[in-house]
Chain A
């Protein structure tokens, strides 16, 4: 199976090359048989990528240490779940995984459009195959997971302990699913530019793919935050690490696109801008991969660095140049009649929302790349860390939060003074009430007060919209509140799913602001000793050490500290934090010791315990009180649920599609177009 996988990778490369050539040739000559052959070439290429993936998984699960990749990233005693996730634990495997996901998406895009968009499809298939060709080529030629060692070691080196976490079995695939999905809208944009069919047709095809990307990126980013929080041990979930930033960039531009697409759908405006956002989102995904893989910038993701960055840099430049060439020769086709009835309108609010989203993307990119720029200009290495990004992005984030509330309250085309007064009164009052309550409670920090006031305002807008909608349904159909709510959302998924996303954003921002009040304590405790500390809410916590203990687990030695927390005489569950020394199956140490934090998660705050080290009987421990952290995960999940609601196809649309596909032969449609 391993040999089959290895050979499959090379055949996939040829199949992709075939698909690119035939699809583009079919597009140029408008010959359906070439197009069909190109599509079949793509399917075949994807099939061989699946075989190659199966080969690598087989090698990982059977611990075939003759493969360099298997020996480098697994050991015989590695738990099975991490043998599976080791597929994306290293450079070569994650590239193959990227091929697998991209191949799946490309095949799905081709298959689901077999009866639609036939004018565009040769170019869509060709572009997808070209991107897949690049990734297969990079995998086969530059970072081949099937490369064999000259000798077979008795055991492998094992997986980096930081990757031996359930979140790491889920976070990278989710992020890849998000990153890679940006390739499909990119392919449609290229197809629309080549064929000059830049009307709403291609937008309809890409909207759902953009949503797929957005939902997976959202989940992937939040899961990554969770991994960083529980695994890295520094007490936070976002450090503006270059790779974190790289995942945020396409999310920001993708979010901007999902808003601006509405203006093109309703008004036919912003053709150039939407093409730019779609292409930009894909290129930022590639740039993100370049940042992850090249190691040009120091990052917590240093386990993934290699010289493959040069490949991505080359591909990025090539894709950028090709797109610029296409756009510059089609400027006239991208012209649209842009008219705006009034400056105060939803269109204008959405455009300012786009400005802020793209502005944040720019500032994140700028901050990420500024160390390189500084070194190039001044020859001086600098670090651009959390304080820089917070200084620049917190104000922009708050502005974005405000616009999240303002946009939905303003009417399309033109908002009258009466309309604005009526719409804004309730939410603004609610927001101000929240702000006043915070002041009364004695909170004086500016950023959290502004964030929570704005969160109150946006929450007010969402409640108002649902209130009105549910009220209207109850009046019209005499429905109960839950039924009216459910049907309201089901009947207008785009609108109310969007509000659910906004609700997730509100929760997320409110939770972010909570971290302004976090408290940290360093304690040294012997077994049986206690220490009392005060949390951000003024509650006194007593922590008693239950002592240090040592034990051996499957692939590691563990030193663990158990702390018993107590509040007002009430004993809470034990919190344990560990120091781990991983070992291979022969007992030799692998990697440096790592820390596993202990977290007691509550609605109000997390109690976050880090065993920093032990000197004889003394346990050195850091205790953080991190307010509202659980709401970060809840907010992120709610955003993803909202995104799923938005992209879920309407029932009547599903029926129509099935009938349409059943009636027409794809090739006949291709020929007709």
Chain B
């Protein structure tokens, strides 16, 4: 970073503030023009950006209406001699894994038991009930919803394909970080030992200080290195 010359001309320009000794100082005209240019440029840039980015938000953003038309039937023919394979508790657990498509961020169990104004989660719940009655197990029901809505029907991505990156990246990052940190700490530790060995008072060094024993030097060294 270059610092401007301390003896830059100050006689031309705008007086701004009293100096330490009370004298008035001025800004060089060039600096003033540069500053004004920067301000004008910034304002123009933003004006252009504003035009590019479009008009101000509409207040409709405040309302975030639910998409009640988002429901699509998820139907399967009942299996021959179908008997329900899920208990009520298992059904509720399954519904916690299926996301309501009304635009909220809740699963269908939570949505349908929280707010009766949503018509999507009760409809999806009825599909779950029909599929259970049709003899389908939890994984088959999840697959049925995925085939209807896509993977967005699940509250968490399936552990397959690219989704593994989602699940594994944090663990891999942590493991890599732990290994790197351990290696770094070992390096620092080795360097500290090497420095300590180099600093340790030798017989020669002790002899070089008349009247100071090696033991005293070692204690002094320890004292200096210890934190206060």
Contacts and interface: CB of A to CB of B under 8 A. Distances in A.
Interface stretch (B79-87, B126-134, B181-189, B211-219): B181-189
A289 to B, nearest CB: 15
B66 interface: yes
Nearest to B168: A392
Interface stretch (B70-78, B135-143, B149-157, B202-210): B149-157
A380 B165 CA distance: 14
Interface stretch (A27-35, A246-254, A481-489, A525-533): A27-35
Contacts of B64: 302-303
Interface size class of B (residues with CB under 8 A): 35 or more
A142 interface: yes
Given A17-B42, A303-B64, A386-B155, A622 B113 contact: yes
A235 B99 CA distance: 16
A547 interface: no
Interface in A283-321: 295, 298-300, 302-308, 310-311, 314
A387 B97 contact: yes
B39 A620 contact: no
Interface centre among A71, A143, A195, A340 (most CB of B within 10 A): A340
Nearest to B24: A33
A144 B56 CA distance: 8
Given A340-B188, A384-B166, A396 B174 contact: yes
Contact of A21 (B39, B105, B161, B195): B39
A355 B174 contact: yes
A592 B67 CA distance: 12
B179 to A, nearest CB: 10
A476 interface: no
A387 B105 contact: no
A11 interface: no
Nearest to B169: A366
A6 B165 CA distance: 49
A511 to B, nearest CB: 21
A116 interface: no
Nearest to B28: A29
A382 B17 contact: no
Interface string A40-78: 100000000000000000000000000010011100000
Interface in A220-267: 232-235, 239, 241, 266
Contacts of B8: 29
Given A239-B105, A306-B61, A367-B166, A381 B152 contact: yes
Contact of B116 (A72, A306, A382, A612): A612
B117 interface: yes
B188 A241 contact: no
B66 A592 contact: yes
B59 interface: yes
A144 B178 CA distance: 47
B2 A595 contact: no
A662 interface: no
Nearest to A240: B105
Contacts, number: 253
A342 B189 CA distance: 6
A412 B228 CA distance: 12
Contacts of B92: 520
B114 A234 contact: yes
B61 A30 contact: no
Interface centre among A234, A303, A307, A352 (most CB of B within 10 A): A234
B99 A306 contact: no
Given A359-B170, A382-B157, A91 B105 contact: no
Given A343-B189, A667-B20, A380 B115 contact: no
Contacts of B105: 239, 241, 298-300, 385
A233 to B, nearest CB: 5
Given A18-B39, A142-B56, A303-B64, A612 B114 contact: yes
B53 A90 contact: no
Contacts of B170: 359, 362-363, 366-367, 392, 396
A348 B185 contact: yes
A388 B155 CA distance: 8
A620 B106 contact: no
A154 to B, nearest CB: 16
A351 interface: yes
Contacts of A133: 42
A323 interface: no
A47 B209 CA distance: 65
Nearest to A354: B181
A310 B53 contact: yes
Interface in A68-99: 68, 71-73, 90-92
Is chain A's binding surface mostly helix, strand, loop or mixed? helix
Interface centre among B38, B61, B186 (most CB of A within 10 A): B61
Contacts of A373: 165
Interface string A2-45: 00000000000110011001100100111111101100100000
A625 to B, nearest CB: 14
A233 B112 CA distance: 11
A511 B25 CA distance: 63
Given A382-B157, A612-B116, A362 B57 contact: no
Interface centre among B8, B20, B106 (most CB of A within 10 A): B20
A300 B20 CA distance: 56
A335 interface: no
Contacts of B178: 352, 355
A234 B27 CA distance: 62
Nearest to B106: A234
A160 B156 contact: no
Given A339-B195, A340-B188, A396-B174, A21 B38 contact: yes
Given A22-B35, A235-B110, A374-B166, A160 B20 contact: no
A436 interface: no
A340 B185 contact: yes
Contacts of B66: 592
Contacts of A303: 61-64
Contacts of B110: 234-235
Interface string B1-42: 111111010000000111110000101000100110011001
Interface in A327-358: 338-343, 348, 351-352, 355-356, 358
Contacts of B35: 18, 21-22, 25
B57 A36 contact: no
A579 B115 CA distance: 9
B112 to A, nearest CB: 8
Contacts of B111: 234
B167 A388 contact: yes
Contacts of A591: 63
Nearest to A330: B1
B25 A378 contact: no
A306 B57 contact: yes
Given A382-B163, A613-B117, 11 more contacts: A29-B3, A30-B4, A33-B16, A90-B59, A143-B57, A144-B56, A374-B162, A382-B154, A392-B170, A612-B113, A612-B116
Interface of A: 13-14, 17-18, 21-22, 25, 28-34, 36-37, 40, 68, 71-73, 90-92, 133, 137, 141-144, 147, 157, 160, 194-196, 232-235, 239, 241, 266, 295, 298-300, 302-308, 310-311, 314, 338-343, 348, 351-352, 355-356, 358-359, 362-363, 366-367, 370, 373-374, 377-378, 380-388, 391-392, 396, 412-413, 520, 522, 579, 591-593, 595, 610, 612-614, 620, 622, 665, 667-668, 671
15 contacts: A17-B42, A28-B1, A29-B5, A30-B4, A34-B27, A91-B57, A141-B46, A143-B57, A160-B62, A359-B174, A363-B173, A377-B162, A382-B151, A388-B156, A391-B167
